[in-house]
Structure 1
Amino acid sequence: MNAQIIDPLQGDFPEVIEEYLEHGCMKCIAFNRRGTLLAVGCNDGSCVIWDFETRGIAKELRDNDCSSPITSVCWSKCGNRILISAADKSLLLWDVMSGNTTSLKVSVLEVSNNGATPASRNKCADGITSFSPTAACFSKNGNLVYVGNSKGEILIINHIDNEVRAMVPIPGGSVVKNIVFSRNGKYLLTNSNDRIIRIFENLLPLKDEVRALVDLNENLNDLEGVEKLKAVGSKCLTLFRELQDLITKVHWKAPCFSGDGEWVVGGSASKGEHKIYIWDRVGRLVKILEGPKEAIIDLAWHPVRPIVVSVSLNGIVYIWAKDYTENWSAFAPDFKELEENEEYVEREDEFDLIPETGKVKESDVNEDDEVDIVTVEKDPGFSDSDMSEEELCFLPATPTCDVPEQMDKFIESSSKLVDSNNSGSPLSEEAGPNEHTTNHNSSPLEDDAWGTRAKRKRKPSEKVLELQAEKLKKPSKSSKASKFKTKPVVDEDGSNGFYGDEFSDE
């Protein structure tokens, strides 16, 4: 993205729908940390990974034990794992390369100070409280999992031992529908059934968050059970901002942060409208994007580019991009756009063979030095601590088998092209037995049935067109009719073409 040609007064956020993706019934989406891969959870329990650069499907993950619709998707920092939550209240950790899944059991053992198990909070027979996770996401470094549940709470879990280390109650106790971190890991955003989008500030250190969480638990040994978890949670997250529409009381769908964390976006949950609201982090509404007449169910912002991807109720993914205006001054350093006529004053050395302004000092670069085309330059949007040697940015393309029917059509169309080329004229069907004619009204590009090759027809020269026009206006009275002969030539691509540069009388 060329940042120099973007008008800073317009805001660095998308404006129009550029493209759409379609594959089954898609429900939720998430970018990896670089924005090169897009994970999409489907209604049948599968997870499709799109290569966002080529807009093609790179991989499809399926598990026979998971057939419920996926409600949320989140990538780990290195991109090797995907955390999903399903409609059957299950949490799965998916390995991207192998396709293996690991189930995460979320539960809290409640024990009071005297050792007895309190009778509260929908416990199972073994004294373990069962939670219904509704959304989940990784922390910045991927060491902790933040889970929103149906009781209006945020659970902080160490996914290695599946133990809940902290609990943050949300005001009002409404069901948490969405939960997502900003890219820098400083803010956590939640969406609840009470029509309020909340922004929490992360108080844990980003580099050693697991150790800090363990120290908080050890310092509160005088507390037990849920009280201890809530006390630790108050030292992990604090409420920073609340976003809501006080007039229309709109329900929100899938809010998220922009790549730089400066903007907060949320989709309207109203039926029959595809509206995306954009706020700044202070809470001011700056723009509303309106799409097709389809309800929105999920959206995500690209990590490094001003692109928003939204999912409609019909399962189609729309890609929103910025509407760039042409700025010719960005293509040449000495180019200047003129709003009105200006008097031009030529330089004194403008017409010299070697003008003074054109003399450039000799470069110190040695032309014999080898150019490094292997080393990848560091992205200025990511710090050195964000770099990872094991990061998964792209997936190898999986070849697909050719369908026999399509191969037969391809062979048939190819044979027709070969026959037409060998006959000396691709327009043999239009021409008569003793003469060649060209169809000037047809398109200059003629595609075959398969659509893999294109032949370009040459236009007749101006001389031939003039002579043809004179012939129509003044027909010859002599018995010998003047005719045009087209001389066959062979194009660079091997196909036959014609031009009528010869004129003769028979």
Structure 2
Amino acid sequence: MNASIIDPLQGDFPEVIEEYLEHGVMKCIAFNRRGTLLAAGCSDGSCIIWDFETRGIAKELRDKDCAAAITSICWSKYGHRILVSAADKSLTLWDVVNGEKISRTVLQQTPLLARLHPGSSAPSLCLACPLSSAPMIVDLNTGSTTMLPVAVPEMGNGLVPQSRSKSSDGTPPFTPTAACFNKYGDLVYVGNSKGEIFIIEHKSIQVHAMVSIPGGAVIKNIVFSRNGQYLLTNSNDRTIRIYENLLPLKDGLSALEEMNRTIDEQDGVEKMKTVGSKCLALFREFQDSITKMHWKAPCFSGDGEWVIGGSASKGEHKIYIWDRAGHLVKILEGPKEALIDLAWHPVHPIVVSVSLTGLVYIWAKDYTENWSAFAPDFKELEENEEYVEREDEFDLMPETEKVKESDANDDEEVDIVTVEKDAFSDSDMSQEELCFLPADPCPDVPEQQDKCVGSSSKLDSNHSGSPPSEGAGQNGLAVNHASSPLEEDTGGTRMKRKRKPSEKGLELQAEKVRKPMKPLKSSGRLSKIKNKFVVDLDISNGVYGDDVSDE
């Protein structure tokens, strides 16, 4: 609602590194639907959720059964759940608000990518892309898996899942396969190593269409834009391709079934290719014609107007930004660290990237401040211009204002209750969306309070040559520091510096005093009592002096 007024620079692209986030070694990132929360998976198996407005940690999800690196993170549609895949072959579904683990499923292969079903507010189905097997649909409640077909057999008319047997030329049987849901999750788009995209109904595991990529290179990434109108593919031929989705956003499966019924003269693979040509149309191609580099983690901007891709070269942290027309508009150059993941903010012109060292960099627009103190109707000029005044400029009632007529209807009622639908609202939205997490402050670790030691027995041990006990400060006063210079507290994260007693304090501690001294109520003077100096304190209660009882 009123997006042009709230954020007039929404269509701009980021330019500089504004800030960076640091917590362990982060591997992958994902924004929630509105960009208020940022989830990051770490190498120790934990998942950190950042409040992106305050740039503070809002929640930490840690599974004691998982200590392997996180490979991907996915939010549910309304942000109440997070799916995490790890290198120990596990898929873990979390409740974000409570921080509790809902389910955990262990696969036979390491999942490189996992995506929750986008059509449900509390999804239990996900799409997993393992390292060395075909993509599969996983039921997180039961743990059952269903393999998706990714290859066309040489004989027969149907499609079968990719076989585990080696190919005839001796090449490895598998390459990591890309797959993704469409906007509402009724179809799955799967890319294989032969440069083919299959459009599959995941419930019946039926292939309805097939689209061939020019060149037949291995498809590494498949990403839909937020509005579902464009599909992005990243291939091994160093080219990013944008396809226009010709199917309706809703009921795309019904449209596919209707196409298959109308095409009767063909059968098998040719029929699927004919249907595929009516599903996806090649729109643009992006590549670096000079360096011919490979791309990593390409994606769309929140409004789908921009396309970004990270350089896959080692030691480079470069992000290329194109407009949808195919023009390269910006190259962002970061530190000399390899880039491993990218994400564009759903609302603002902000890009977040992850480096190989585990830092998350936030790229934002470089706004130029102008502090010129002019009246609102003044215009700042780059150079002098000759001004030509209007004929009626200095009239009491200019002719231009006389001609103007008000178009406003004074009798029209203004609706201030109805909320306009924004870019993220859906007609099937049935529950409140999670945009922020409640504050959960971590209590400080209580520092260990050292006991006051002043009994004659302990003083006797000090007098016999042993080191002074903890808690003995200058002039026999009890302090909360030990004599060691540095010591870690119980939390293990902060260091506190310990003060060493002075020579005078050590001398006073070594003396035997059998009777406790009476309280002294002067104001900071030095009193000479039996050839001893005692600092008087302005405290009405308590016993102070060389010898302090344990009470």
Residue 227 of structure 1: SS of its match in structure 2? helix
1:256 aligned residue: 299
Q: Is the 8 A contact 2:26 2:354 kept in 1?
A: no
Contact 2:217 2:235 in 1 (8 A): yes
Partner of 2:105: 63
CA separation of 1:12/1:327 partners in 2, compared to 1, >3 Å: closer, same or farther?
farther
Q: Does the Cα contact within 8 Å between 2:306 and 2:323 map onto a contact in 1?
A: yes
1:307 counterpart = 2:350: yes
Match of 1:239 among 282, 291, 304: 282
Distance 1:486 1:42, change over 3 A: closer
Cα displacement (A) at 1:235: 0.3
1:149–1:176 CA contact under 8 A, matched in 2:
yes
Structure 2 residue 35 is the aligned partner of structure 1 residue 31: no
- Taking a change above 3 Å as real, the CA distance of residues 417 and 177 of structure 1, as seen in their structure-2 partners, is farther
Structure 1: how far apart are the matches of 2:351 and 2:30?
11
CA contact (8 A) 2:22 2:360 kept: yes
Higher mean C-alpha deviation, range 32-41 or range 251-260: 32-41
Q: Which residue is equivalent to 2:132?
A: 88
Note if 1:410 corresponds to 2:445.
yes
Give the counterpart letter for 1:50 in structure 2. Answer: I
Partner of 2:49: 50
Matches within 5 A, 1:61-460: 61=92, 62-66=104-108, 68-71=110-113, 73=115, 76-78=118-120, 80-81=122-123, 82-93=126-137, 101-107=143-149, 117=156, 134-324=177-367, 380-385=422-427, 388-390=429-431, 393=434, 410-413=445-448, 415=449
Structure 2 CA distance for partners of 1:12 and 1:252, relative to 1, 3 Å: closer
Please, what TM-score do these two structures have when normalized by structure 1? 0.61
Partner SS, residue 261 of structure 2: helix
**CA contact 1:35–1:52 (8 Å) conserved in 2:** no
Contact 1:148/1:179 (8 A) holds in 2:
yes
Q: Distance in 2 between matches of 1:432 and 1:325?
A: 60
Q: CA contact under 8 A between 1:274 and 1:295: conserved in structure 2?
A: yes
CA–CA distance in structure 2, aligned partners of residues 133 and 222 of structure 1:
35
1:167 CA drift (Å):
0.9
Aligned equivalents of 1:258, 1:391: Cα separation in 2: 25
Asked whether the 8 Å contact 2:299–2:307 carries over to 1, the reply is yes
Gaps of 5+ in 2: 62-81, 85-91, 93-103, 166-172, 382-416, 454-470, 478-488, 495-523, 527-534, 540-551
TM-score by length of 2: 0.57
- 3-state SS, counterpart of residue 297 of structure 2: strand
The whole-number CA distance in structure 2 between the counterparts of 1:232 and 1:319 is: 42
CA contact (8 A) 1:37 1:393 kept: no
Shift of 1:35: 3.2
The alignment yields a C-alpha RMSD, in angstroms, of 5.2
Q: How many Å separate the matches in 1 of 2:303 and 2:322? A: 13
- Unmatched runs of 5 consecutive residues or more in structure 1: 340-374, 420-427, 435-447, 453-481, 490-506
Q: State the SS of the aligned residue for 1:205.
A: coil
CA contact (8 A) 2:452 2:472 kept: no
User: Quick one: structure 1 residues 72 and 301, their matched pair in 2 at CA, closer, same or farther if it must change by over 3 Å?
Assistant: farther
After TM superposition, give the deviation of residue 234 of structure 1 in Å: 0.4
Q: Kindly indicate whether the alpha-carbon contact (under 8 Å) linking 1:74 and 1:136 is maintained by their aligned counterparts in 2.
A: no
Aligned 8 A contact 1:78 1:390 in 2: no
The code of the aligned residue for 1:393 comes to L
Aligned counterparts of 1:264 and 1:277: Cα–Cα separation in 2: 8
In 1, distance between residues paired with 2:357 and 2:265?
52
| Residue identity matched to 2:275 | V
Partners of 2:204 and 2:151 in 1: how far apart? 14
Matched pairs, number: 385
Q: For residues 33 and 316 of structure 2, what CA distance do their matches in structure 1 show?
A: 30
- Separation in structure 2 between the aligned mates of residue 418 and residue 179 of structure 1, nearest angstrom: 67
- Superimposed CA distance per residue, residues 91-141 of structure 1 (whole angstroms, 9 cap, x where no aligned partner): 34467xx666553412279799xxx73799997699xxx996611112112
Q: Rg bigger for which structure? A: 2
Describe the SS at the equivalent of 1:240: strand
Percent of residue pairs identical:
49
Farther off after superposition, 286-295 or 266-275: 286-295
SS at match of 1:410: coil
SS of equivalent to 2:105: coil
